[in-house]
Structure formats: C-alpha cells, structure tokens
Amino acid sequence: MKKEILQKLTENPSDYVSGEALSTVLGVSRTAIWKTINDLKEDGYIIESSSKKGYRLSPDSDVVNSFEIGNGLRTKVFGRNVVHFAEVDSTNNYAKKIALEGSEEGTLVTADYQTSGRGRLGRNWDSHDKKGVWMSLILRPDIPFEEIQTITLAASVAVVKALKEVADIETGIKWPNDIIINGKKVCGILVEMNMEIDRINFLVLGIGLNVNQQPNDFPEEIRDKATSLRISIEQSLGLQKPLKRSELIRVILLKFEEIYDKVICGAYEEIISEWEKYSLTLGKEVSMTYKDKQCTGIAEGITKDGKLIVRSGDGTVREVLSGEVSVRGLLGYV
C-alpha cells in the first residue's frame, strides 16, 4: 500500500490528494492511509498535510529506495533490481555477499548510511550521513582481467557525464577514477572483483558521491580535499540547490550502462579517448610509489588497457596499473 500511495502522490506533484480519495481508490480506511503517510515520513519523504485538502508530496523530498530509483529509470539492466538499506556496513560488502550467492548483473545496492564505508586501498570513506550517494553495482563482464581497468575508467567517465547532465557541473578525473571539482574530490570509485585465474566471476563497482554535504559535514582533516556537489554549486552560482540522490543514481546508471556496453564490445580506444578528454592527470607532474620507491615524473598518457604512463626526469618510462598516484595541484599535493 505504501507504494500505491506513493504512486498517487508522485503522479500529482503539485496538487493535494485527499485522504478520502486515497481511501476510496485503495479500499482501506482513512486511518490506514494516515498511518501509511506516517510510515512514508519515517522513510524520509516530506509530505505536507492539510485536514481540508489532504496530502501533498514536497518536491524537497530526497529519498533513495527502489521505487524512487525505478521511477523514470531508462536503463535495460542496471538498477532494475535494487536492495536499499537505511544503514549497512558497506554497500560493496553487501553486494559481494549477494553476488557470491548468485545475484545477477545490474543488481544495485544502495544505502542512506554506511557504518564502515571504504575507499580504495582499504581506506575509510566518510559516508555516515544521508547526504551522499552510496551505491554498489554487480557486474558479470565476460572480458579478460587485463581489461577490467577499462571498466573503472568507463565508470568515472559515466559519473562525469551524469554530473554534467543532472547538475550542470563540470568535473574532471584524477587517474584512475577520482572525480574532482576545483582540486577537491567529490566522488570515489572502488572496484572489487571475484575471479579465477582465467575467469571473472563478478565485479562489484562501488561509487561514493558527495551530494548535499555542507563544509561542516566533513571532518576537519579532509575539508581541504573533499567537496560536495552542493558546495560547488553554491561556490559557482551562489545559490543553495540541494540535489536528489535518486535522480543522480538513475542518470549515473544510464550513462554507465551505455558506456559499459561499449567496453563489453571491445571499444577500449573510444573509452580511453573519452577518459582523456576529462583527465586532470595527463601532462601533469605526478608523484607515486612504484615497487616500494617514491618517484615523480610527468604523466604522459594511458595505455590501451588503462595503465598510466609516467616519464621521470632521467627519461625512465614506467607504466602504473594503480596504487597511489598524487597529481600536483589536486587534493592538497602542491
């Protein structure tokens, strides 16, 4: 019944729907309607109620769940099956668990809060509030291991495109797949995989995107490195414009599905050249750990399979698959 009431309210975005009408259409008592409205409020919906006019869904509601994500979703496979948590340890962990049990490609796990969200290399990722998109997608690509990096690059391109479409924000990519605004990180991507030597069983692609945080929402020690879409909109346009997480998820899923289908068909060069368009890394000075040594150099390009090519002052050229690479001018590396 929750879904049916939600459907009615969503269909009439600016109008009140009377409790009586709802009770007649759904064939339940007005008390039952009232209780369900309260449940919806608990879920985070902002519902205005007037004893005369009935109920109206506020356009300020920002709720993530399978109804909201599915409402207007234009993908074929991605996000057609959603598991949403008010709170979970980490969406990637849960996705890995259900993928082991056989969950299909495109299954999406989302959460309002992650109690132990993680970034790359085992780091914490601050995701203790409802102000970000914390999502993990299960993928079962039939490609060789060497080409998985292309999927992570593709995901970063998809996020850049989605942010442009939904929020009209220009972002760039720090290799391999951090999304950057004004030198600060707004989104991180963590890919985990389960495989045999010669066969990928599944990937879990986790995306952590800071959406509606204000500066104070970030712990002090990362304020010079982290930002949110809302902060950057305020900085560039001078206005407070909260964004809808479900809409962002929908558009990210669509953009990513389009580009993922290309990866699967082997269009690696197209993906790489799209990635290069948004790169904030190429031509820059980078510092990295390579075989346990710290070295610096200029990022000259990326290989067909997504390795970063770095030329040091002494002419040595190294290809890096991942690990820790700092780019001068980004995330506090000056």
Applying CB under 8 A, the residues found at the interface with its own copies are 93, 96-97, 100, 120-122, 145, 148-149, 152, 176, 190-199, 201, 321-323
Q: Which amino acid is at 269?
A: E
Q: How far is the CB of 131 from its own copies (least distance, A)?
A: 26
Query: Under a CB-based contact definition with an 8 Å cutoff, are residues 98 and 109 in contact?
Result: yes
- Closest separation between CB of residue 249 and its own copies, Å? 23
Which is nearer to its own copies, 151 or 252 (by Cβ)? Answer: 151
* 148 vs 207 by CB, closer to its own copies: 148
Q: How far is the CB of 179 from its own copies (least distance, A)?
A: 17
Question: Of 86 and 100, which has the nearer Cβ to its own copies?
Answer: 100
Could you give the dihedral angle defined by the CA atoms of residues 82, 83, 86 and 89, in that order, rounded to the nearest 10 degrees?
Answer: -130
We find the least distance from the C-beta atom of residue 291 to its own copies, in angstroms, to be: 10
Note whether 33 and 4 are within 8 A (CB). Answer: no
Choice between 62 and 147, CB closer to its own copies: 147
- Residue 102: CB minimum distance to its own copies, A: 10
Report, in Å, the least distance between residue 254 CB and its own copies.
24
Closer residue to its own copies (CB): 42 or 196: 196
Nearer to its own copies, 197 or 239 (CB): 197
> What is the dihedral sign for C-alpha 232, 236, 238, 241?
negative
CB of 286 to its own copies, least distance (A): 15
| Beta carbon of residue 246, minimum distance to its own copies (angstroms, whole number) | 28
Nearer to its own copies, 124 or 182 (CB): 124
Give the residue with the Cβ less far from its own copies, 172 or 176. 176
